[in-house]
Structure 1
Amino acid sequence: MRKNMTTVAVVTAALTAALTGGTASATTVSLPQETVPSRIAVHFDLAKGQMPENIALSPDGSAYVTFAAARQVALVTKKGETRILATLPAPADGGADTPVLKFALTTGIVRTTDGTLYFLYASGSAETTGLYRLRSGGTPTRVAALPATGLPNGLALDERSKTFYITDSALGTISTVRLGGHRASVWSSAPELASTGFIGVNGLKVRDGAVWASNLDKGTLLRIPLRQGRPGPITVKAKGLAGIDDFAFAGDQVIAALITTGRVVRVGAKGKVTTLLTAADGLQNPTSVAVRGRTLHVPSAAYTTATDPNLVLATLPRH
């Protein structure tokens, strides 16, 4: 327990300094707000490092999350029970060589149709940083190494091409790994992906012939068309989203977590931004979102608030 609390203290101190130190260049703007029904469905254990960074949904209503500070992958059942599925080995230095954040962490997660989980681990070590696979009842296996000098963060799978897309928030790149392959290749290193001092390209989704990504420092939502598998010109679909982390689609709208300002917002097809959830709904540094039907799942890591990491469920309005 003492070791876990020390890790949490290091994480909180490092991220508080970074997230509140003015490193993000995006400007927070006043946004209209819409009231949506919400509740805190699950409370996680901060003392155990259960800071949820990313989420993937299962057809049975359960969810899979990565616990960043604990270096874990967990199942959250429909009843709200938390079951640890895997814990990644701590690097010898405790993660101090992990770029930007200075602690080892599990980040993006994807569930394939056969129930296999794929997730990212950033450790600052060439031996362990990379993309991992976790089959039901099995142990995690690294399927692709990623640069130890980077911070692999967002993960998405293009089902059509059977290709994973991976953001690196430190190196400012998006890389690809074939579903059955073991080699990562840089797909884009466009300037729009770079940071301005802290976290650059972050969240990631593939939709309708394009890769969508967020840039936390710049507060932007980006669309990159797929041109026979290669990146086309980048379009900024929304800006002024200070501290944007990961996001998901709900129809033709984007629902995004703003980690630094503690909000979840909706970005309309024409770029209009509306606030849906705030700290008043229980958000504590929301990191990602997942949507099934009209139900919105929002994990909060409490990185800087150090209070009640949780999972909020909300009902999206009809549009």
Structure 2
Amino acid sequence: MSRHPRLAAVAIATAALAVLAAGPVSAGEPTVSDPRIVAHFDFDAGQTPENIALEPDGSADLTFAFAHQVARVTRAGATTVLATLPAVANPQTPNIGAAITTGIARAHDGTLYVGYATGTAENGIWRIAPDGGAPEQIAQLPADAFPNGLALDERCGTLYTADSARGVVWRVPLDGDAPAVWATGAALRPTAALPFGANGLKIHDGAVWVSNTARGTLLRVPFAEDRTAGPIETRATGLEGVDDFAFTGHGDTVLAALNTPNKLELVRHDGTHKTVLTAADGLDNPTSVAVRAKTVHVPSAAYFDTTAPDPNLLLARISRNKL
């Protein structure tokens, strides 16, 4: 099977991004240990995990990008397909040309929200009910938009999604109102060398945080009092090939998936960072991260592995350094 076209330019262009920053181990900062792969997926069937949301029992809900599926993986590695997004006859997804499922967010009642990048009328955000059933499109985005990282502000009934092609953040109300661009700026945009800008997205401590793959940065966009976007702050640089990320629960400390370098990066509150997992631990183009209690979950999609692609889900232990 030929290589999937998603982010075909990344493998070349990211080599020009900045070198990873490094720093000494800080007292009390999280450490990551005991990595183990709990599930392997079928690359040729398109089971390339792109994003992750966690269930209360620790199971992981994954989007399989090129299979157009959402699957649930138990902590023991058993995998069940929950839903399949509708096939698109002639996808025109920006920079890729193939339809893919992208970000995922979970509501407290078990409803799942999923990004579907197609470049057609199906482009936008889809909902999967807690009891299953056919996925339903709840928001349509322009054909030239690329919905990627996704987060839910359940209190305000709003989803936020990073648009990797336009380099903006969209606000998607759950009440049926039309989506609107929430944040814009050069820091969110792609570059001429790499056409994937804003990528991962999380809501944390009064702000929307966004990674920019093209620029290798982690950004913070604070909420103003009226919930509009405040000035964009750059919180870390030198994150080559950064995809999605998660907060560790220790303030603003982040674990970021560096896709093409095959690394999981610990990003400290001051922007310095260090590598905590690599390909030697089982990473194969990691795409996203989730943290629950003492466990970190890292899906790998194997997008650029030309020898023995191994899309998988890796679990590891996260704990606080006692130095």
| TM-score (ref. length: structure 2) | 0.91
Matches of 1:254 and 1:271 in 2, distance apart? 10
Partner of 1:61: 58
The equivalent position to 2:195 in structure 1, one of 198, 208, 226, is: 198
Counterparts of 1:1-319 in structure 2, within 5 Å, are 5=1, 9-11=2-4, 14-15=5-6, 17-22=8-13, 25-29=16-20, 31=22, 36-93=33-90, 95=91, 97-126=92-121, 128-135=122-129, 136-196=131-191, 197-227=194-224, 228-251=226-249, 252=251, 253-306=253-306, 307-319=309-321
Structure 2: 5+ residue stretches without partners: 26-30
Q: Which amino acid aligns with 2:20?
A: V
Equivalent residues of 2:162, 2:198 under 8 A apart: yes
Equivalent residues of 2:14, 2:240 under 8 A apart: no
Q: Check 1:25–1:158 CA distance in 2 against 1; reply closer, same or farther (3 A cut).
A: farther
Tell me how many residue pairs correspond in the alignment: 307
Q: Check 1:24–1:178 CA distance in 2 against 1; reply closer, same or farther (3 A cut).
A: farther
Partner of 2:28: none
Matches of 2:261 and 2:120 in 1, distance apart? 31
Q: Check 1:48–1:295 CA distance in 2 against 1; reply closer, same or farther (3 A cut).
A: same
**Aligned sequence identity (%):** 51
Equivalent residues of 1:98, 1:124 under 8 A apart: yes
Moved over 3 A (4+): 30-35
By how many angstroms is 1:172 displaced?
0.7
Matches of 2:7 and 2:146 in 1, distance apart? 18
Let me know the Cα RMSD of the aligned residues: 1.7
Equivalent residues of 1:217, 1:243 under 8 A apart: yes
Matches of 2:16 and 2:184 in 1, distance apart? 20
By how many angstroms is 1:16 displaced?
6.9
Matches of 2:85 and 2:132 in 1, distance apart? 15
Equivalent residues of 1:143, 1:182 under 8 A apart: no
Equivalent residues of 1:15, 1:304 under 8 A apart: no
| TM-score (ref. length: structure 1) | 0.92
Matches of 1:260 and 1:212 in 2, distance apart? 21
Matches of 1:172 and 1:16 in 2, distance apart? 15
By how many angstroms is 1:159 displaced?
2.7
By how many angstroms is 1:30 displaced?
5.9
Q: Which amino acid aligns with 1:115?
A: G
